[in-house]
Structure 1
Amino acid sequence: MDAMDSDLYRDILDFGHATPSWFQHVMEAWTEVGLLLFAVLFILAWWRARRGDPRALAISVLAPLGTGVAYVISEILKSFIVEERPCRAVSRAATSLIDCPANGDWSFPSNHATIAAAGAIGLALAWHKIGWLTVPMALLMAFSRVFVGVHYPHDVAVGLLLGALVVFLCVRLGARPGAAVAESMRRSSVGLFVWFAGPGERRGAHAAPINR
């Protein structure tokens, strides 16, 4: 299995070297740009949920929180598993397209893939119609880490699974209590809480006026 993964790593990295330089730069930048786009989408999802029901608001907040939890778990796993980066460990491989991370910055699992998957699934749960965008974004971000030569394929595959699972559990377990908190914030006398939670659904906004 290790040999197969190393062979796939070499094949993907060789493919990266065969692409035009502008494409290599795009793939190098995409991971960081993708994370920024996820951050913007988190804000938009929260702002949109401010006019939704309390559960929708709770999920929009749990999505980035769950992503943060997934990142922390991936960092903890790195410190226990201690897998060397393929750009140093795989023999007969082409040079990585970006600088190989410093020794001690371990490879498994991929933090970027974990964050990408958690962000993609969290956003899809908070804003169903956007899943068609966020899931391909996450897959491309994960692939880019192998493409530039700093992760094995299994690093990003496990990172994707880890991020998706953690954010799903965070939303599943936290949606009900989070909705109760959101409802309390909307009824609070503290202006900041009310602003953060938003007005919620405006029921009856189009109802007929009451006769006087």
Structure 2
Amino acid sequence: MHPNLLGADLSILYFFNSFLSSPFLDLLMPLLTFGGTQVFWVILCLILYLLGGEDEKEAAFIALTALVMGFFLSESLKMVIARPRPYEVIGWVRHTTVAGGYSMPSGHTVAAFAGFISLYFKFGSPWLFIILASLVGTSRIYLGLHYPSDVLAGAVLGVLCAFTALKIEERVKCFGLCRFDRLQQH
């Protein structure tokens, strides 16, 4: 990594992880980070699919597709990049929890952006969903589990997965409609 980028990474990490630390944020940030877990997204997608209408079912399909892609891509990248987590190599990093695996990209951030951007496609309110996903990423920095560049990479990967999943959903939907139209013509 370029020295200037590493310096910016460390400065931002210090700001969120040490300078902003407070008992209130120590309680809030673990709650926010839950929005980036696969468990959260599987439960939310099941609820949307089982209890929702057509838009909710489509949103659940897009989100689950994006999450699966994001999981496999982020885990593959982690193995290739093999970047240790900040708390493992920097003495001043506070952390309230220990995470396994490597740091780059942030899997929680991938999941948050993949999921929340998928919801935006069907429900609108882009700023609400971007803010929610960004809060998950910020929580990962605050908790000392990721560098800011890990979170940025996770956000980009999550958005790309969401857009790819939207295209997949459009193709699946079109295929289903095209087949239905052909069946009615006979």
* TM-score in terms of structure 1 length: 0.71
- Structure with a larger share of its residues in helix: 2
For residue 172 of structure 1, report the CA deviation from its aligned partner. 1.6
What CA distance in whole angstroms lies between the structure 1 residues aligned with 2:60 and 2:178?
14
User: Taking structure 1 as reference, are residues 42 and 110 closer, same or farther at Cα in structure 2, changes over 3 Å only?
Assistant: same
The yes-or-no answer on 1:120 pairing with 2:123 is no
Q: Separation in 1 of the partners of 2:117 and 2:47?
A: 15
CA shift, 1:158, in A, is: 0.7
Q: 1:99 aligns to what?
A: 97
The alpha-carbon deviation at position 71 of structure 1 amounts to 1.4
Give me the whole-angstrom Cα distance separating, in 2, the residues matched to 1:110 and 1:135: 16
Identity %: 24
Alignment partner, residue 7 of structure 1 = 11
CA RMSD of aligned residues (A): 2.8
Give 2:25's aligned residue. Answer: 23
Deviations 1:106-128 (A, max 9, x none): 00000000000000111111222
> Which range moves more in the overlay, 59-68 or 173-182?
173-182
Q: Any gaps of 5 or more consecutive residues in structure 2? A: 181-186
Which protein is bigger by CA-based radius of gyration?
1
Structure 1 pair 68/133, CA: closer, same or farther in 2 (3 Å)?
same
Q: SS at the partner of 2:158?
A: helix
**Which amino acid is the alignment partner of residue 72 of structure 2?**
V
Deviations 1:177-210 (A, max 9, x none): 234337869xxxxxxxxxxxxxxxxxxxxxxxxx
Quote how far apart the aligned CAs of 1:3 are. Answer: 2.1
CA contact (8 A) 1:6 1:90 kept: no
Would you say 1:137 and 2:141 are equivalent positions? no
Aligned-pair CA distance for 1:176: 2.4
Q: Is 2:141 aligned against 1:146?
A: yes
2:88 match = 88
TM-score, scaled relative to structure 2: 0.79
Which residue is equivalent to 2:106?
A: 110
Task: Write the letter of the residue equivalent to 1:157.
Answer: L
Deviation at 1:163, TM superposition (A): 0.5
State whether residues 41 and 123 of structure 1, in contact with CA within 8 Å, keep that contact through their aligned partners in structure 2. no
AA at the equivalent of 1:26? L
Q: What is the CA-CA distance between 1:12 and the residue it aligns to?
A: 1.5
Q: 8 Å contact 1:58–1:179 — kept in the other structure?
A: no
**Paired AA for residue 153 in structure 1:** P
- Residues 117-155 of structure 1 show CA distances to partners (whole Å, capped at 9, x for unaligned) of 0001111112224x4432211100000000011100000
